[in-house]
Copies of this chain bind each other. A is one copy, B any other.
């Protein structure tokens, strides 16, 4: 879970997740949305992947990145838990 919060700490990575929320995108397509070199983005993708926040799929010469919502939901639940809410049911 620590990997997840590490990954979420950087604004660029949060924006990547936001972009992937609409639809899966290739690395290059994602990179176009940022003013950063492609290797830099590639590094951010690797962090997201290590946290299992995104999954990849080769499509010929490109690589598709897809959001893994379940991990995001787990992270949200863990925060609700920290806040003292059971996250599953509102009335324990």
Contacts and interface: CB of A to CB of B under 8 A. Distances in A.
Interface residues of A, number: 24
Interface in A1-53: 2, 5-6, 8-9, 11, 14, 17-18, 21
A14 B82 contact: yes
* Identical copies of this chain, number: 2
A80 to B, nearest CB: 5
A85 B14 CA distance: 16
Contact of A83 (B6, B69, B83, B87): B69
A33 to B, nearest CB: 16
Contact of A76 (B9, B17, B69, B83): B83
Interface of A: 2, 5-6, 8-9, 11, 14, 17-18, 21, 67, 69, 72-73, 75-77, 79-80, 82-85, 87
